[in-house]
Amino acid sequence: MSGHSKWATIRRKKGALDAKRGKIFTRLIREITIAARQAGGDPEGNPRLRLAIDNAKAANMPADNIERAIKKATGELEGSQITELTYEGYGPGGIAVLIEVATDNKNRTVAEVRHLFGKNGGNLGETGSVAWMFERKGMITVKRENKSEDEMMEIILETGADDLATEEEFFEVTTSLENFESVRKTLVDKKLTVDNASLQWVAKNLIQVKGEEAEKVMKLIEGIEESDDVQNVFTNADFVE
């Protein structure tokens, strides 16, 4: 199946570093909180919450942390009001950047994001300025566990997935929005280890960046990801050697 941006591999390594710092727990807790506040604290009747809990468990988050996040969202425990927002902008070389945040202070967050763009050779855009360059897709990360690419290809073709990318320790399965949950469930039913499953913004077309320009783009993205309020960063940059 078709090409795969090196950003996926870079993001995976970055995710491993985030996990060591504990930052990934903060992001997962916010996702659980938002999901529970939107559609209730029962995962059986709330697919987004069920997915968030599954991802938290895969990251070895203690059950107490998960339960506490749900209770804060449903009002059983006191907690701050978290709002979801999306920011869009351009980085060095005209690459597009789409940012999902979860914040309790919108003014603080937008000021910080705008500063990070300006500091790193980019600029914050208006709503809709780059979103049209992306489409919503399901992304499911599966541990390889000695499975060959051919074996995995057979499995995902059965499930109705759209694409497969192979990394050293993982397979990354791409699905349509409509098939996301059924593909995820099928992979779990087949006893495959789903490391993470989420809905992401995937670039329709990639722009290659390399050398000094790639370093500038990476610095921008890493700076944005370091922000406490940022949940996810998506780009159409394809980092090439």
Range of the domain at 112: 83-132+205-239
Residue 1 falls within a domain, yes or no? no
Last-in-domain residue among 36, 53, 74: 74
Facing residues of 90 across strands? Answer: 96, 123
Per the document, the length of the chain is 241
Count the domains in the chain. 3
Closest by CA position to 41, among listed 80, 86, 85, 77: 77
Beta strands per DSSP E along the chain: 83-90, 96-103, 123-124, 134-143, 163-166, 170-175, 194-203, 207-209, 230-235, 237-239
Residue 91 falls within a domain, yes or no? yes
Facing residues of 171 across strands? Answer: 142, 166
The tens-digit pLDDT sequence of the chain (241 residues) is: 333 455 555 555 555 555 555 678 888 888 999 898 888 888 888 888 998 999 899 888 899 999 998 988 888 877 778 889 999 999 998 999 999 999 989 999 999 999 999 999 999 999 999 999 999 999 999 999 888 899 999 998 888 899 999 888 889 999 999 999 999 999 999 999 998 899 999 999 999 998 999 899 999 998 998 888 999 999 999 988 7
CATH number, domain of 37, equals 1.10.10.200
CATH number, domain of 167, equals 3.30.70.980
Please give the pLDDT value at position 19.
54
- Count of CB atoms situated within 10 Å of the CB of 168: 7
What the block records as the tokens of 110 is: 């937008």
Please give the pLDDT value at position 96.
96
Last-in-domain residue among 74, 102, 117: 74
Residue 154 falls within a domain, yes or no? yes
Q: Based on the fold, state whether residues 181 and 65 are members of the same structural domain.
A: no
Facing residues of 165 across strands? Answer: 172
Residue 93 falls within a domain, yes or no? yes
